């Protein structure tokens, strides 16, 4: 139980453990970063496709939360950053040699993919810095969904424009790629800018968020992985080196970290909504004072029991119960005492009609109904007397502040007959009034004409 909870994105241990794993991966890779490994262009294609999908999903979920009015902080520029990364991953997929053939699909220069990488890894932290600025200095009043989506659309447009410019004009840009080697980027403004911007964005996110909540922590972890991606890629100095391969893994972790947190956040929201929907469904058919079914819940179950009794030719009995002199209890002892009497009476009903199939409901006010499936008149009379006696001795047992009693009307559905719920209730209600007229605190059985009226 504890180990599983620790692995969830919302767990206190998940963030530091993940950060520790990333740090250890980087530390073990640095000494061997320049070691060449077998070239796998197809693997690079799968990697870029995965990065595109993960970043795109993250941007899409953030945008949907944004449009739904999520309380998460300044989602606009974070969504823009991940949308930018998704488009740039597509651009590098088109420019990287060996994925679709010996030559890049788009771009005449072999260094086009390197420049796409440089633009990508400068643009993403810039957009996260915009997120930090919005969070620290921006105004937080409600904005229209259209205005909130403008930064996301702006980032997509910038990614497309910059990507096309690089792919079309990489031959006119400074050379940062010599075959598979790009060691010159360690001294070139393109590489230096990527490192400086990534580290600056990481420090800014940590400083602005203070890692206060789950979203802040996993956004920080994603930027930490992105920073390690930049550093390890430059440390590798060449494609297909150990540092280059591990930097690809860091890029995947950057794309996936926040996505996993968002999916967990969405799942928690869905679970809370489902739980609340279930609670509301129960509240609709439950009486809040006694916890019994209310009239609506009773009628729903009663119709099913009537159909079952008719279909299988089984008996069915109903008790209509009314507390005697309840107005006098409220007027004399107060409404809190009256509520206590109602709750105690409900407990006595549950104890008296204790089969799993018995249905007990508060019909309204001080009236209760007990539906007894598979119970004939003799059996129902025993249950009714048991309930009546239990309520009568409640005061003697110290359960209520005053004496109370109930009058009970009993009606039955003979095996095989078809009657409506209203007919069965009306018959029990008529018997209840007979009990009231006969002196209260007693059980009366519905007359034969009431029991047979409405039969098919």
pLDDT at 201 over 90: yes
Q: Is residue 89 domain-resident?
A: yes
The reported pLDDT for the residue numbered 351 is 92
pLDDT at 3 over 50: no
- On whether both 93 and 205 belong to a single domain, the answer is yes
- On whether both 345 and 244 belong to a single domain, the answer is no
- On whether both 332 and 355 belong to a single domain, the answer is yes
- On whether both 177 and 254 belong to a single domain, the answer is yes
Pick the last residue of a domain from 246, 280, 314.
Answer: 280
59 neighbors 76 (Cβ within 8 angstroms) = no
**pTM (2 d.p.):** 0.66
- On whether both 269 and 349 belong to a single domain, the answer is no
CATH code for position 103: 1.20.1070
Q: What is the tens place of the pLDDT at every residue in 312-365? A: 889 999 999 999 999 999 999 999 999 999 999 999 999 999 999 999 999 999
pLDDT at 450 over 80: no
State the CB neighbour count (10 A cutoff) for residue 381: 18
The whole-number average pLDDT for the span 279-295 is 85
Q: By residue range, what is the domain housing residue 255?
A: 2-280
CATH code for position 327: 3.30.70.270
The reported pLDDT for the residue numbered 75 is 81
pLDDT at 249 over 80: yes
Distance between alpha carbon 5 and the CA centroid of its chain, in Å?
A: 16
- How many domains would you assign to the chain? 2
**DSSP assignment of 33-99, as one string?**
TT-B----HHHHHHHHHHHHHHHHHHHHHHHHHHHTT--STTHHHHHHHHHHHHHHHHHHHHHSTTS
**Between these two residues, 360 and 262, which has the higher pLDDT value?**
360
- On whether both 265 and 299 belong to a single domain, the answer is no
């Amino acid at each position: 139980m504890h180990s599983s909870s620790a692995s969830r994105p919302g767990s206190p241990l998940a963030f530091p453990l993940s950060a520790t794993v990333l740090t250890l991966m980087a530390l073990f890779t640095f000494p061997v970063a320049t070691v060449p490994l077998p070239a796998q262009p197809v693997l690079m294609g799968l990697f870029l496709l995965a990065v595109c999908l993960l970043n795109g999903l993250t941007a899409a979920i953030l945008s949907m939360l944004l449009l739904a009015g999520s309380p998460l902080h300044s989602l606009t520029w974070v969504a823009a950053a991940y949308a930018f990364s998704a488009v740039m991953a597509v651009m590098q997929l088109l420019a990287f040699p060996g994925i679709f053939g010996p030559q890049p699909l788009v771009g005449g220069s072999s260094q086009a993919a390197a420049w796409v990488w440089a633009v990508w890894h400068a643009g993403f932290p810039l957009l996260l810095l915009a997120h930090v600025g919005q969070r620290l200095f921006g105004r937080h009043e409600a904005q229209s969904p259209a205005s909130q989506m403008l930064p996301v659309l702006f980032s997509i447009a910038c990614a497309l424009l910059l990507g096309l410019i690089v792919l079309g004009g990489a031959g006119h840009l400074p050379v940062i790629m010599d075959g598979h080697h790009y060691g010159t980027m360690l001294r070139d403004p393109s590489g230096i800018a990527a490192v400086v911007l990534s580290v600056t964005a990481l420090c800014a996110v940590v400083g602005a968020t203070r890692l206060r909540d789950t979203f802040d922590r996993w956004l920080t972890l994603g930027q930490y992985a992105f920073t390690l991606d930049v550093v390890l890629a430059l440390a590798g100095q060449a494609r297909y080196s150990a540092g280059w391969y591990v930097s690809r893994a860091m890029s995947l972790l950057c794309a996936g970290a926040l996505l996993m947190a968002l999916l967990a956040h969405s799942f928690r929201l869905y679970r809370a909504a489902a739980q609340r929907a279930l609670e509301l469904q129960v509240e609709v058919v439950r009486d809040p004072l006694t916890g019994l079914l209310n009239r609506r819940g009773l009628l729903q179950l009663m119709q099913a029991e009537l159909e079952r009794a008719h279909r299988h030719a089984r008996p069915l009995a109903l008790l209509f119960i009314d507390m005697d002199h309840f107005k006098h209890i409220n007027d004399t002892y107060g409404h809190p005492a009256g509520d206590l009497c109602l709750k105690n009476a409900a407990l006595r009903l549950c104890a008296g009609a204790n089969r799993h199939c018995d249905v007990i409901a508060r019909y309204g006010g001080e009236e209760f109904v007990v539906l007894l499936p598979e119970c004939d008149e003799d059996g129902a009379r025993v249950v009714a007397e048991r309930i009546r006696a239990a309520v009568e001795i409640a005061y003697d047992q110290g359960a209520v502040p005053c004496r109370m009693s109930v009058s009970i009307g009993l009606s039955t559905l003979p095996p095989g007959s078809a009657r409506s719920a209203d007919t069965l209730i009306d018959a029990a209600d008529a018997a209840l009034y007979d009990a009231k007229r006969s002196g209260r605190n007693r059980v009366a059985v519905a007359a034969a004409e009431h029991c047979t009226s409405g039969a098919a």
